[in-house]
A and B are shown apart, each in its own frame.
Chain A
Amino acid sequence: GNSVTQMEGPVTLSEEAFLTINCTYTATGYPSLFWYVQYPGEGLQLLLKATKADDKGSNKGFEATYRKETTSFHLEKGSVQVSDSAVYFCALRDSSASKIIFGSGTRLSIRP
Chain B
Amino acid sequence: NAGVTQTPKFQVLKTGQSMTLQCAQDMNHNSMYWYRQDPGMGLRLIYYSASEGTTDKGEVPNGYNVSRLNKREFSLRLESAAPSQTSVYFCATMGLAGGHTGELFFGEGSRLTVL
Contacts and interface: CB of A to CB of B under 8 A. Distances in A.
Interface string A51-64: 10000000000000
Given A43-B107, A44-B106, A49-B103, A100 B90 contact: no
A49 B109 CA distance: 23
A32 interface: yes
Q: Is chain B's interface secondary structure helix, strand, loop, or mixed overall?
A: strand
Interface in B66-111: 90, 92, 94, 101-109
A89 B45 CA distance: 14
B43 interface: yes
Contacts of B35: 102
Interface in A32-83: 32, 34, 36, 42-46, 49, 51
Contact of B101 (A44, A45, A49, A99): A49
Contact of B94 (A49, A98, A104): A98
Interface of A: 32, 34, 36, 42-46, 49, 51, 89, 93, 98-105
Interface of B: 4, 31, 33, 35, 40-45, 48, 50, 58, 90, 92, 94, 101-109
